[in-house]
């Protein structure tokens, strides 16, 4: 779909706070306020790029700009709003970083598709595969690594390894359809997992067969900004918000069996915990 933008010089002078009007001609259905003849009035307060950012966010929130809609070029949008191209670029960069907009090389800037969020309970110890299956979601994995290695210092300490022991590492990119959801990197002793390549769709189901499935775990969750390698795998901008989760899982004996460090997309996951009043408070 190609749009031809042009400037009208016959619309007269505009009231204070209003911009010049831009119109389009061509083929296609455009119902978005951004592409209409209405002048844009930016919300007041703060730098211009933040005003433009808030205007676009509001337009998306009220459905005036819909997922998949294309924004005008940087030059046209700057003229449309009567700001500099630097201002437009800075606003768009922040919105891309927030996940509201996406940029496709050679195609332009678009409103990002709406992502359905996944709620994961923090009160149950389940594998990713089992958790998604209960939700009726079809998931798949792309293997990033399956092998035996010399352990790192923290793997040695956390897994209780002895000198000369090796560690099994399995790393996967988890997807629902074509959308990446998370990166999982698990480490176990080679005694527990002597053949990492034999792991199928679920690590926990594999451990269950050998009687090494964990029964409890401690998880630590923190917010972080994605670095380049993980951002590329998750197909979101470098610096975007993500959830980093470290899980240390235990056997019934109390021995640590698994150390997993995962990175979840911040725009697709909600972690939910049920909180109850303690017994001491009820007495």
The CATH number assigned to the domain holding 142 equals: 3.40.1410.10
pLDDT for position 277: 76
Distances (CA, A) of 37 to 5, 108, 124, 279: 11, 21, 53, 63
Average pLDDT over residues 123-134: 60
Task: Among 25-39, 118-132, 157-171, 172-186, name the one with the lowest average pLDDT.
Answer: 25-39
pLDDT for position 23: 34
Q: Which of 111, 144, 173 is the last residue of a domain?
A: 111
pLDDT for position 129: 62
Query: Which CB contacts under 8 angstroms, 24+ apart, belong to 30-37?
Result: 30/3, 32/59, 32/64, 32/65, 32/66, 32/69, 33/59, 33/64, 33/65, 34/59, 34/64, 34/65, 34/69, 34/71, 34/72, 35/3, 35/69, 35/72
Q: What is the CA radius of gyration of the chain?
A: 25
Q: Which of 65, 89, 111 is the last residue of a domain?
A: 111
Is the separation of the CB atoms in 142 and 201 below 8 Å? no
Average pLDDT over residues 141-158: 96
Q: Among residues 80, 84, 62, 60, which one has the least CA distance to residue 72?
A: 80
Same-domain check for residues 123 and 73:
no
Task: Among 5-14, 151-160, 175-184, 255-264, name the one with the lowest average pLDDT.
Answer: 5-14
- Which range is most confident: 25-29, 31-35, 191-195, 233-237? 191-195
Same-domain check for residues 98 and 198:
no
Please report which confidence band the pLDDT of residue 67 belongs to, taking 50, 70 and 90 as the band edges.
Answer: confident
Please report which confidence band the pLDDT of residue 100 belongs to, taking 50, 70 and 90 as the band edges.
Answer: confident
Specify the residue for token string 């009567």: 82
pLDDT for position 265: 85
Q: Which of 79, 96, 111 is the last residue of a domain?
A: 111
Is the separation of the CB atoms in 26 and 35 below 8 Å? no
CA count, 13 A, side-chain hemisphere, 110: 12
Please report which confidence band the pLDDT of residue 127 belongs to, taking 50, 70 and 90 as the band edges.
Answer: low
Chain centroid offset of residue 30 CA: 29
Does the structure show a pLDDT above 60 at 21?
no
Same-domain check for residues 158 and 249:
yes
283, part of any domain? no
Comparing 87 with 129, the larger pLDDT belongs to: 87
Average pLDDT over residues 117-145: 67
The 10 Å CB-count burial string (b at 16+, else e) for 191-217 is: ebbeebeebeebbbebbeeeebbbeee
Give bridge partners of residue 245 from the DSSP assignment: 221, 262
Is the separation of the CB atoms in 173 and 142 below 8 Å? yes
pLDDT for position 2: 33
Helix ranges, the chain (H): 48-61, 74-81, 85-98, 128-134, 153-159, 203-209, 228-234, 279-282
State which residues form the domain around 42.
3-111
Average pLDDT over residues 152-160: 96
282, part of any domain? no
Same-domain check for residues 45 and 155:
no
279, part of any domain? no
Does the structure show a pLDDT above 80 at 193?
yes
């Amino acid at each position: 779909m190609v749009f031809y933008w042009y400037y009208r010089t016959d619309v007269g002078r505009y009231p204070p706070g209003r911009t010049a009007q831009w119109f389009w001609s061509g083929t296609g259905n455009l119902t978005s306020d951004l592409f209409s003849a209405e002048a844009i009035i930016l919300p007041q307060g703060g730098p211009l790029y933040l005003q433009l950012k808030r205007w676009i966010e509001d337009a998306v929130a009220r459905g005036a700009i819909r997922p998949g809609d294309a924004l005008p070029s940087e030059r046209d949008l700057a003229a449309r709003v009567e700001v500099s191209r630097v201002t437009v670029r800075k606003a768009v960069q922040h919105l891309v970083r927030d996940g509201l907009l996406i940029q496709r090389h050679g195609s332009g800037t678009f409103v990002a598709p709406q992502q359905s969020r996944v709620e994961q309970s923090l009160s149950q110890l389940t594998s990713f595969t089992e958790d998604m299956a209960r939700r009726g979601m079809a998931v798949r994995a792309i293997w990033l690594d399956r092998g035996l290695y010399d352990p790192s210092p923290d793997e040695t300490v956390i897994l209780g390894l002895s000198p000369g022991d090796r560690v099994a590492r399995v790393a996967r990119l988890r997807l629902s359809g074509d959308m990446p959801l998370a990166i999982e990197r698990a480490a176990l002793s080679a005694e527990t997992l002597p053949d990492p390549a034999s792991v199928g769709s679920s690590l926990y189901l594999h451990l269950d067969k050998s009687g090494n499935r964990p029964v409890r775990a401690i998880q630590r969750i923190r917010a972080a900004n994605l670095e380049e390698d993980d951002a590329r795998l998750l197909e979101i901008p470098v610096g975007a918000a993500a959830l980093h989760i470290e899980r240390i899982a235990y056997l019934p004996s109390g021995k640590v069996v698994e150390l997993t460090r995962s990175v979840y997309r911040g725009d697709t996951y909600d972690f939910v915990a049920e909180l109850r009043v303690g017994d001491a408070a009820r007495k």
